[in-house]
Structure 1
């Protein structure tokens, strides 16, 4: 059996990662990584790689369930996959998205949905989208003892209101983004995701608050980075990749090639061979 040190990733955490651990790294230059995860096996792989934080994103609507929009995933569906990720997460911190329609109506709805998510999944924190307008929900969640990761800039649940996938915070809109980040920080959010924001604006926003900022398409000056793992590893092989996503592997192409080889050997009768039989 391989030595554990040979099978774990770069600076893999040796104990449970806590919210406070990552908050202490704010502004230190000690950046940390977050990846989405949607199942037990992937969570184990990313935890072994040393990824400090796993996000059960509502992007599962697209990459797991095949829905055309993130707004279509339900709280139950999110809870089922979040629970699987928690079971495989090892020492990584797990954050779970609250899906569209589960927190907008009232503070009471937000607390009820978040409590259900945490109780049934075991996630350490919930994530909700919005800045100034959603600050009262964040305040209510924090008052109920529920840690919150905010999400500003481009917010996928509001894609229709934003008229599509557009960079946020350009020009005069930078003032609104800065107001949004101050509002969520003042409301008690522990982290904030900045999505599709000009790098210079994201740098200013990160400097303006004392909570960690997590960038996705927001340049190099945030305290952490997050990507959808399917974009990071090119699955499926012919999928659309956003400009801000780099591919460190070609998992889609490798998986398709492996499945094609399996099919060919079954059709040709070369699998299973004698060594695969009892």
Structure 2
């Protein structure tokens, strides 16, 4: 977007205080990032959801640091005036702090992100604090955490009972104390998300977390049905069906080539007079025609 000034973590906190909703979308490549920026999105998340969405995996777990760097760098080239957050992949922040900081440094320096996102609550608070103290903004992520999907028993809504809702609140508070600039709440009941949002001072960004959060994030491919076989999700609103348009367009191309309707005269480049004669000889050209 021409003349757009990118957000920063201070502005995002002011947006929460002013009740100005934050818009976030995932993007994984140059064209989608460019289009998202032109549309006025506040924040782009380069999520490890690329594993499911663009790399063909069944989960986010196989996504590597190299994958994240490559895709984040492409997004950064496409959205130079948008705040970009990159996920830290599976098991890259559960070892030593030195190893974690090396990974963060690579994603920031080579991927050109402005911040990183980490899944987990109180159990990763010390690591979050170390990264923040090193000068890197961190976005938290609690509720359904896809990297832990095998441990939590599948894609289940979080915060349905009092015990689970209290756990989420405690995790959010631990992350706030550790210095996160915001927290993604994924597949969390609206009631639990509302309490967390009211309790902590940093913005909450919901995905399937209801209406009482400080912002929303959805996957680029979900809101546009940009996928071979789209699965409806209750928490997603779709705004276009480009998947069907793509299929129709490519099928039309295949049909035109098969029936020789493409290329037409207007798609052909003509050589100067006499070129064929000089290449093949006049007699051979006439015999070929």
Kept in 2: contact 1:35–1:227 (CA 8 A): yes
| Corresponding residue for residue 121 of structure 1 | 111
CA shift, 1:169, in A, is 1.2
Distance 2:49 2:31 in 1: 18
Q: TM-score, normalised by structure 2?
A: 0.90
| Corresponding residue for residue 252 of structure 1 | 243
Number of aligned positions between the proteins? 268
The gaps in structure 1 that reach 5 residues or longer are: 1-7
2:173 aligned to 177, 182, 196, which one?
182
Kept in 2: contact 1:79–1:117 (CA 8 A): yes
Q: TM-score, normalised by structure 1?
A: 0.94
Root mean square deviation of aligned Cα: 1.2
Kept in 2: contact 1:19–1:93 (CA 8 A): no
Distance 1:139 1:223 in 2: 23
1:141–1:13 Cα change, 3 Å: farther
- SS of alignment partner, residue 204 of structure 1: helix
- SS of alignment partner, residue 72 of structure 1: coil
The structure in which a higher percent of residues are helix is 2
1:54 equivalent in alignment to 2:44: yes
Distance 1:220 1:91 in 2: 27
| Corresponding residue for residue 278 of structure 2 | none
2:139 aligned to 149, 154, 174, which one?
149
CA shift, 1:237, in A, is 5.0
| Corresponding residue for residue 202 of structure 1 | 193
- SS of alignment partner, residue 67 of structure 1: coil
1:13–1:159 Cα change, 3 Å: farther
Kept in 1: contact 2:6–2:42 (CA 8 A): no
Distance 2:57 2:228 in 1: 19
Kept in 2: contact 1:27–1:223 (CA 8 A): no
CA shift, 1:275, in A, is 1.5
Residue correspondence of structure 1 range 14-163 to structure 2 within 5 A: 14-163=4-153
1:13–1:239 Cα change, 3 Å: farther
1:228 equivalent in alignment to 2:219: yes
CA shift, 1:13, in A, is 6.7
